[in-house]
Structure 1
Amino acid sequence: VLRSWIRSGQTVALLGSSGVGKSTIINGLKGSLDQETGAIRESDSKGRHTTTSRSLHCLPGGGLLLDNPGMRELQIVDSEEGIKATFSDIDALAKRCRFRDCQHTTEPGCAVVAAINSGRLEQRRLDNYHSLLSEEARNSQSLAEQRHSDRALGRFYKTALKTSRQFKSRD
């Protein structure tokens, strides 16, 4: 399936967390074992960080693949439209919800929750949708909004600490 996306004259970069299989994908597309890969950990069945530097690979039939070391964090910004396009099935269901501002959790008349309950939609897919939208909203905040939010949280912590000290001194 991936080969159809990588044609002569195109370069595709593989990005993702450490141990998710980027180098394994390159080996599979090239039909070789050029990229070193690591075994999956027995304790949690997750991959291991193996690639330590970027490398460019020519594919048979054209196209280039750029392998990158695993990243601890990738942030998506201004991608709400892309998320909605990727999860167009959820977006279409959401248009049939009873409330316009439905969060697709416990609201009555939610078409998305109904689809999950009937088995037409996987809960994991909805969880991923919520997670990406939440991350996008967080990352799209302006710097001023982030500072304001951080200050408000700091004030809350100080107030909570002061209150707990007051209660402790009454003992």
Structure 2
Amino acid sequence: PKAIMFGEVQENGPIDLSVSVVEAWDADDADEGSNARLTYTIEKNVLQDKTGAPLFQIGARTGILRTALCCLDRETTPEYHIQVVASDGGGLKGTGTVIVALSDVNDNSPRLLKREWELEIPETEGYGPPTDDSLLELAVTDPDRVNYFFYRVVEGSGWGWDHFAVRAAGDSSSTGSQYVR
């Protein structure tokens, strides 16, 4: 096989999800028996921490690398390195590494960095024309790679709820901020 190959699979995918195809060739004449017939194996697999079960499997004749367990988590391990071997019928072999990257799925809930924010506002605040001044910055985090956070003041959430507004700041990353006015 090539020295380095790449595959990608979505995190939290099912068992038997195709990751990559390992391909090798043998210069022996295919008509000369088993010397040119290739068999694929995994020499160094990644094992699940809890059970010791292998995370990946390979088709011995096809070279198709697949997940052997479900629910790989990108936030825990974003990529894996698997050492694969292609052997011919004459006992010769070649090795390569498959780098398996996990693509992100929005599988984590955003978390506010604080459970509760307290703010004292002078009673004369807000009696003039509206300004762009912020009273409070709310911050949230989410380990998923791409996030779009949406904030709102919950209708009827307390006396004076309708005197506040939320304006956006930040980008589509793992953290976000909003300003309360």
TM interval, shorter chain, is under 0.3
Pick the structure with more helix per residue: 1
Larger RCO, structures 1/2 (Cα 8 Å, 6+ apart)? 2
Name which one, 1 or 2, has greater alpha-carbon Rg: 2
Pick the structure with more strand per residue: 2
Q: What TM-score results when the alignment is normalised by the length of structure 1?
A: 0.20
Q: What TM-score results when the alignment is normalised by the length of structure 2?
A: 0.19
